[in-house]
Amino acid sequence: MENNNKIIREKETVAAMIKLYCNKNHNTKNQLCTDCLELKEYALKRLDGCKFGENKTNCGDCKIHCYKKDMKEKIIKVMRYSGPRMIIYHPVMSIEHLISKFKKR
C-alpha cells in the first residue's frame, strides 16, 4: 500500500512540475504542448515500472537512471525550473515531497 501511495504522489508531483514548466515556458494555459505531453506520459510509465517498489526513493536520489538520455535531459530541465517554484504553486505537494525524501533513511 505504501508503494502505491508513493508512486501516486510521485506521479502527481512530476505531472504538476511538467505542467508548470510547459505553461510558463511554452505559453500554454491549462494544457501541455506535444513535447511536454510526451515527456509526462514517458515519466508516468517509468514510475509504473519502478523496480524498487516499497523502497522507492525520490527519482532525483535514485542510483539507477531508467530514462533515455534525451528524456533525462528534458526532465532535468523541467525539475530545475519547476522545483524551486513548486513551493509557490503547490505548497502542500512540495512539503509532502520534502518529507518523503527524508523518510526511510
| pLDDT tens digits, one per residue of 42-76 | 999 999 988 876 677 776 677 777 899 999 999 99
**pLDDT at 2 (0 to 100):** 45
Reply yes or no on whether the pLDDT at 79 is more than 60: yes
pTM beyond cutoff 0.75 = yes
Reply yes or no on whether the pLDDT at 1 is more than 90: no
**SS3 letters across 42-96:** HHHHHHHCCCCHHHCCCHHHCCCCCCCHHHHHHHHHHHHHHHHHHHHHCHHHHHH
Tally of domains within the chain: 1
> By residue range, what is the domain housing residue 12?
2-102
Reply yes or no on whether the pLDDT at 30 is more than 60: yes
Averaged pLDDT for residues 89-99? 90
